[in-house]
Chains A and B, each alone.
Chain A
């Protein structure tokens, strides 16, 4: 998958995006690479993800996924469980642990 990287941050080579992760995936957030999505500009999507705790260093686990197109997904971020769609989750770069 490719995205319009409006705000490319430090992008480590080993990182993959959370939107493509399989169920059961566990990893650590390496960075956010936000893009315009769902009518939101890239900057706004980034802020929303940050407000839900998707911050560099946080541990994530992909707990559940929907039936159609494996979407949406439920992500455990530390003590919270957040549901979102894979399209937006693709803005979160993670490395497996």
Chain B
């Protein structure tokens, strides 16, 4: 191209730096992207690309990279960073400019990395980020002196504020176009690392004045939150409150959505005739779309409450503390505290949880974490749990007086989450013992960041993205499966003079009848059988399918409320077995395909599918048989 020869081709820039120094925040501000930003090390585990036009009119292609302490690439996420920085990917030249982001409040390790990058011989530009916090804490940095000592341009940035990147943009414009070059770098040995850190310390002593080495707020909070006893108690209370809130706070909004769908259903039902071809359309809209999709959409508020909690914990800086507190307990399961962060993220969804295991260096530990992450109760299980709990567990406080704030339903929910956590730990223990006998767990080393006040914008954005993803799922996968389920439950229509209920002539009934013998020992009826099959695609679909099947079945009675329908038809033993099934069931195609990708083959995907299916069947079987023996069958 002509432009290229004129030196006007896109400038390719990569952001490099320690974990949690604000690279992604900078990336988002510069490119207008919405990548995940949170206050713990190891948020970004892949390269992300964006672009912007600099004030000087230069087109820039910007890469955001996983954080790292060195280029030695000890874990899969750090490999990504090393390969981009050194241009080691086949056919991709190294970036024209590396913007080394360093946390101005915690420069020591960042400076060492910059010195290491300097040895690689690529063009560098240093951005001292979080300069607002540094200034607030009275940390003084002599930027000009630093620039002179490093022999590199240095700018200060505030990644989270508009206008906080002006100096950086100006410096990018001032950057002379560079030719392609080779990066020369070899992994430093211990002596090399020492020398670099000593030099960094020398520079620091010359340019930085720190009044108080520790953030006062962090010090005071940690005295409580990391207290050996109080810290653990608080962690437990936080998790418990989270599940109570999922029930208590979301209820009004859920009632509203539910009422909305009921009204919509009634309106559609009233407009269209019950007989003839219009009747088929009525059934499609009323039983298929509204009852099916509606039964899933109702859960949006609960999912948002859960996400709000997780986002708050992530942005506040609590995740790394939770990892610290859980380290010993995780150690009992053959993992280390670091693995708790992917597991906690899996409460939202197992997919980001599995992705974030990339920060774990040992392949064995990483694999064990990936295999058990889907056992953590992800948000797609919420509809299933809530539906059953709402129908079978009375909505009343656990006790009188002091205990009246603890709802029984919330308690059962907490119990299901606890079952998920315990089975994840138990299975990882088993895997580590059986598959990798006696191999030691890698050392636990994790930086604990200073606490930060969660930013409203970041929270709102996170929630909005979740809501959007959920609605998209409801509108695509769930909706299309619902259409199929409705079709199967309505066709063929009963012959003239039929004596049985209409649904018993449908395909769905035949399918359900076919699988029913397999499911009888675990207490599932044919309707559940019909719901489980499409439920393989996504867990919520099971709820939506039940919604449709029962709506078609009950077309005459018009009880649109699925919970009521179930309460009247299922025994308590069946309901409990259904819950037990869903603690383990491997019913999410997306998760399985991420496992395949992250483990690099089909083998572990089928392994996790198989072991979870076996566990689900076993758990449901035991639950059902025990419940029946206790007389609730």
Q: Do B190 and A80 touch across chains, with their CB atoms under 8 A apart?
A: no
Q: C-beta contact mask, A57-80 vs B, less than 8 Å → 1, else 0?
A: 110000111111111101011111
Shortest distance between the CB of B492 and any CB in chain A (Å)? 62
Number of interface residues of B (CB under 8 A): 48
Q: Give every chain B residue within 8 A of A50 (Cβ-Cβ).
A: 190, 193-194, 197
Which of A32, A39, A69 has its CB near the most chain B CB atoms (within 10 A)? A39
Q: Are B190 and A43 in contact (CB-based, < 8 A)?
A: yes
Given the interface contacts A79-B210, A83-B337, does A74 sit within 8 Å of B109 by beta carbon? no
A79-B106, A79-B213, A83-B448 are known contacts. Are A72 and B324 too (CB-CB below 8 A)? yes
Task: Tell whether, in the assembled complex, residue A66 and residue B324 are in contact, meaning their CB atoms are under 8 Å apart.
Answer: yes
Give B202-231 as 1s and 0s: 1 = Cβ < 8 Å from A's Cβ atoms: 000000001001100000001000111101
Contact B443 A83 (CB under 8 A): no
- A47's partner among B112, B193, B324, B362 (CB-CB below 8 A) is B193
Complex CA distance for A81 and B260, rounded to whole angstroms: 51
Segment among B44-52, B434-442, B557-565 that sits at the interface with chain A: B434-442
Q: CB-nearest residue of chain A relative to B228? A: A67
The reply to whether A72 and B69 contact each other, CB–CB distance below 8 Å, is no
In the complex, the chain B residue whose C-beta lies closest to that of A65 is B228
* Alpha-carbon distance A57/B442, docked complex (angstroms): 27
Q: Are A56 and B213 interface neighbours, CB within 8 A?
A: no
A72, B328: Cβ atoms closer than 8 Å: yes
B109 touches A53 (CB 8 A): yes
Q: Chain A: interface residue count, which band? A: 35 or more
Identify which of residues 16-31 in chain A touch chain B, using a CB-to-CB cut-off of 8 Å.
Answer: none
- Residues in A74-93 with C-beta less than 8 Å from chain B: 74, 76-85, 87-88
Contact B445 A66 (CB under 8 A): no
Docked complex: B180-209 residues within 8 A CB-CB of A: 188-190, 193-194, 197-198, 201
Would you give the shortest CB distance from A76 to chain B, in whole angstroms?
7
Contact of B59 with A by CB under 8 A: no
Q: B289 in the interface, Cβ–Cβ < 8 Å? A: no
* Distance (whole angstroms) from the CB of A12 to the closest CB of chain B: 17
The answer to the question of A46 belonging to the interface, with a C-beta cut-off of 8 Å to chain B, is yes
Residue on B with the closest CB to A46? Answer: B190
Point out the residues of chain A lying under 8 angstroms from B198, CB to CB. Answer: 55, 57
Q: In the assembled complex, how far is the CB of residue A42 from the closest CB belonging to chain B, in whole angstroms?
A: 10
CB-CB under 8 A from A32, the residues of chain B are 190
Contact between A38 and B197, CB atoms less than 8 A apart: no
User: Does A40 count as interface, using CB distance less than 8 angstroms?
Assistant: yes
Give Cα A63 to B226, complex, Å: 9
* Given A53-B109, A76-B213, A79-B106, A69:B445 Cβ within 8 A: no
A80-B327 contact in complex given A50-B190, A51-B109, C-beta closer than 8 Å: no
A37 vs B430: C-alpha distance when bound (angstroms): 22
List B contacts of A51 (CB < 8 A).
69-70, 72, 109, 112, 193
- Closest-by-CB residue of B relative to A67 is B228
Known A-B contacts A50-B190, A50-B194, A78-B108; A45 and B443 likewise in contact (beta carbons under 8 Å):
yes
Is the beta-carbon distance between A68 and B328 smaller than 8 angstroms? yes
Of B105, B190, B198, B226, the most chain A CB neighbours within 10 A belong to B190
Contact with A along B442-456 (1 / 0, CB 8 A): 111111100000000
Contact A55 B447 (CB under 8 A): no
Q: Cβ of A8 < 8 Å from any Cβ of B?
A: no
Out of A38, A47, A66, name the residue touching B327 (CB < 8 Å). Answer: A66
- Give the Cβ gap from B599 to chain A, nearest Cβ, in Å: 19
Cα-based distance from A52 to B194 in the complex (angstroms): 11
CB distance from A7 to the nearest CB of B (A): 8
For A38, give the chain B residue with the smallest CB separation.
B443
Residues from chain B with a CB closer than 8 A to the CB of A77 are 108
CA distance A30 to B214 in the complex (A): 23
Chain A residues within an 8 Å CB radius of B588: none
Chain B residues whose C-beta falls within 8 Å of the C-beta of A83 in the assembled complex: 320, 323-324, 327, 337, 444-448
Within 8 A of A (CB), among B288-328: 320, 323-325, 327-328
B112: which A residues are within 8 A, CB to CB? 51, 53
Say how far A23's CB is from chain B's closest CB, in angstroms: 9
Contact A74 B213 (CB under 8 A): no
Nearest neighbor of B198 in chain A, beta-carbon distance = A55
Question: Does B127 reach chain A (CB closer than 8 Å)?
Answer: no
Q: A48 — which chain B residues lie within 8 A by C-beta? A: 74, 443, 445
B108-A79 in contact (CB<8A): yes
Query: Is the Cβ of B201 less than 8 Å from the Cβ of A55?
Result: yes
Bound-state CA distance A47–B190 (Å) is 5
Instruction: Provide the bound-state CA to CA distance between A53 and B108, in Å.
Output: 8
Chain B residues at the A interface, C-beta cutoff of 8 Å? 69-70, 72, 74, 105-109, 112, 188-190, 193-194, 197-198, 201, 210, 213-214, 222, 226-229, 231-232, 320, 323-325, 327-329, 336-337, 362, 439-448
- Some 22 contacts from A to B, beta carbons below 8 A apart, are A37-B443, A39-B440, A43-B190, A47-B72, A51-B72, A52-B109, A53-B197, A55-B194, A64-B226, A64-B227, A65-B228, A72-B328, A72-B337, A72-B444, A78-B108, A79-B105, A81-B448, A82-B446, A83-B320, A83-B337, A83-B446, A84-B445
